[in-house]
Amino acid sequence: MVNTSKIVSCLLALGLVDTSAASYDRTNQTVTYAPIFKEWREEGTNENMTMTATFDLVNSNYVYLYEDANYLHKRTAISVAVEVATILGGTAGVIMAAESALDIYEYIAGVIKTKAEQESCTLTYGTDTADDAIEGYAYKAMTTKTNCGTTAEKKTIDTAVKKCANELHEAGATRGCCKFRYGDGSWYGHLRLTAEPKKYPADTVNC
Ligand SMILES: *[C@@H]1O[C@H](CO)[C@@H](O)[C@H](O)[C@H]1NC(C)=O
Ligand SMILES: *[C@@H]1O[C@H](CO)[C@@H](O)[C@H](O)[C@H]1NC(C)=O
C-alpha cells in the first residue's frame, strides 16, 4: 500500500513544488486534490507547528475550486494530487470557519490541551454545539516517544484548530482531518471535523 503521508514529506524535503493537480471527476462524482500544508510559529514561542489538512467529503457548490487548477495551487506547497473526496449535494453542511464558531473551536482546542497535559494518547470524540452551530470532532495524539504530552501552548493549539477549520471551510469540506506536528516532530495531533455528525460522523482519526 502506498503511504501518502510519506510521499508528501519526501516531496517537501526535496522541495519539489509543482502546479496543483486538482481535478473534478464528473462520472464518479469525486474531486482529486493535493493536501493543504501550513507551517507557522506562534509569537513568543520557540517551535514550529505544521498542519496537513485533507478531506473525504466535499459540498457540490465548491466543485468549481477543483476545476480551476490555479486556485488550489495558490494555497498549497505540495505538488501531487494524492487525495480523493466524494461530492455531496449542495445542502450538505460545510465545516464552519473559525469566526463563525469560535466557542466550538476553542472548546476543541481545550480538549487537545487537556489531553496533552494528561499525556494521553487515547481517542476522544463528540459533538459540540454553540448557538445554532454544530460540529462533530474526533481527536487523538500520537507520539514517537513514550507519552502524548507536548509543550505547545494553548494559544498555539487554538491557532492550529482555527487554521484547520478555515482551510477545510474554504475547501468546501463536509468532513476533513488535520494532522498537526509540533516541535521536534515526536508529537502528532490528529483532529477530524465533520459538519454532519449524524450522517457522516467523526469517531475515528485517520489522517
Ligand atoms: C471512475 O472510477 C473508476 C474506478 O476507480 C475508474 O476506473 C474510472 O476511470 C473513473 N472514471 C473516470 C471518468 O475517471
Ligand atoms: C518554521 O516556520 C517558518 C515559517 O513560518 C519557516 O520559515 C522556518 O523554516 C521553520 N523552521 C523550521 C526549523 O522548520
Nearest C-alpha to atom 5 of ligand 1 is from which residue? Answer: 28
The three cell numbers of residue 155 are 494559544
Mean pLDDT by 10 residues, the chain (207 residues): 38 39 89 91 94 96 82 55 91 96 96 96 95 93 95 96 98 97 94 97 93
The pLDDT of residue 73 is: 52
d(CA 165, CA 167): 6
Q: Is the CB of 40 under 6 A from ligand 2?
A: yes
Return the ligand 2 atom nearest residue 50 CA.
2
Residue 83 Cα, ligand 1 centroid: separation in angstroms? 14
Residue 48 Cα, ligand 2 centroid: separation in angstroms? 6
Reported as half-sphere exposure (CB side, CA atoms, 13 A), residue 114 has a value of 10
The two beta strands, 30-33 and 83-88, are: antiparallel
Residue 41 Cα, ligand 2 centroid: separation in angstroms? 7
Question: For the whole model, what pTM was predicted?
Answer: 0.85
Measured between alpha carbons, how far is residue 161 from residues 37, 96, 110, 158, 175 in Å? 14, 12, 10, 5, 14
Residue 197 Cα, ligand 1 centroid: separation in angstroms? 29
